[in-house]
Amino acid sequence: MIFPFSCMIFFFTLMLGTLISISSPSWFGAWVGLELNMMSFIPLISLKMNSYYSEAALKYFLIQALSSSLIISSSLLMISFLFISSVFIFLALLLKLASAPFHFWFPQVMEGLNWPQVFILSTIQKLAPMVLLSYLLTNPVLLKIALFSAILSAVSGALGGLNSLHLRKIIAFSSINHLSWMIIAITLSDIFWIFYFLTYSFILLSITSSFSKLQVFLLSSLSYSQYSSVPNLILLSFTLLSLGGLPPFTGFIPKWLMIQIMVNLKMFLPLFFLLLSALITLYFYLRIVIMSFILLNPIFSFNTKHTPSSNHSFSIPIKMPFNFVGIILPIYMFFL
């Protein structure tokens, strides 16, 4: 998951734009940082002359330009109409985050990306909008909009990935579902959502780097990579279950913390939708696991030429230990 050296300047300016947005004392400075971040990510999408990459870059540019124009036009109204301006900026940030009901563009863009870009779009590109979102959550009306968007994101992310056979689209809907947990964590405390965001980022990094090594994009091709083997698929399966938040894997730790806090605050309705959506996402993670092991067996791979793998990659097991922290050191037991 390493970009060419010629593109490292774009990665540097991408991180610089994120830092400018986070540390800016004004909305104009935040807008400048978001623009720099967007214009740096587009060259990283279209590294190769490919129609799919170009289409994904164009879609991403149009959506981000729409949200950026909404931010800069709303900030002009802030002097006279503070509340209306805050609402429009809040909605523009939800559009940048691909939070429901503005999530329609995210799976389509993700389907045209390579795995390193999938990781960046799911994690780094969401950091600055989430920090800016936390600055606005002092108004009770915006707080209710955030809770409503989180519930919609949980349901949309869970139901959207059920019938998909494309791994990038499954990861996209999974990201929308995890975004619902992070939005509710933002409404509670900055520490909670940063902890959830970092845990999600490390788990997703291990998954996307493994898929990039295997060079698989479809569910059916997961077992036919030259590096596919039973140990690698077992580790990858455990990592997917950790991403779904199944105990006792690491992905369960931030969810367990969030569940306890929401129960203490009597937020039972959002918690019901979050837990229901988590069960549905675990279902399509399990479908990936079961399908990959079925296709790995030559007896069940009908009408497909099976070539047993003789190559072994030691880089895949090296990327997985973070997902087993919950087993080796059950940190979540301290939250009981």
Please list the pLDDT of the chain residue by residue as tens digits (336 residues): 556 776 788 989 999 999 999 999 888 899 999 999 999 999 998 877 677 888 999 999 999 999 999 998 888 888 788 889 999 999 999 999 999 899 999 999 999 899 999 999 999 999 999 999 999 988 899 999 999 999 999 999 999 988 888 889 999 999 999 999 999 999 998 899 999 999 999 999 989 988 888 888 887 777 666 666 777 778 888 888 889 888 888 888 899 999 999 999 999 999 999 999 999 998 888 887 887 777 666 555 444 444 444 445 556 666 677 777 766 665 555 554
What is the per-residue pLDDT for 224? 67
What is the per-residue pLDDT for 30? 92
Q: What is the identity of the amino acid at 144?
A: K
What is the per-residue pLDDT for 250? 87
- What is the Cα–Cα distance from 44 to 30, expressed in whole angstroms? 22
What is the per-residue pLDDT for 308? 46
Scanning the chain, the segments in alpha helix (DSSP H) are: 8-23, 27-45, 51-76, 82-97, 105-110, 115-122, 124-136, 140-160, 167-188, 190-214, 230-243, 252-264, 268-296, 315-318, 325-328
User: Which CA distances in Å does 127 have to 50, 276, 336?
Assistant: 28, 26, 30
What is the per-residue pLDDT for 79? 78
Tell which residue, 20, 43, 236, 212, has the closest CA to residue 116.
212
What is the per-residue pLDDT for 305? 47
Q: Are 196 and 244 in contact (CB under 8 A)?
A: no
What is the per-residue pLDDT for 310? 44
Cβ atoms within 10 Å of 20's Cβ, excluding its own: 20
pTM across the whole model: 0.90
Which residues lie below 8 Å from residue 298, measured CB to CB, with a gap of 6+?
A: 306, 308
User: Which CA distances in Å does 255 have to 22, 274, 335?
Assistant: 25, 10, 11
What is the per-residue pLDDT for 226? 60
What is the per-residue pLDDT for 93? 95
Q: What is the identity of the amino acid at 57?
A: A
Tokens of 324: 């087993």
What is the per-residue pLDDT for 172? 94
**Exposure string for 202-233, b = 16+ CB within 10 A, e = fewer:** bbbbbbbbbbbbbebeebeebbbbebbbeebb
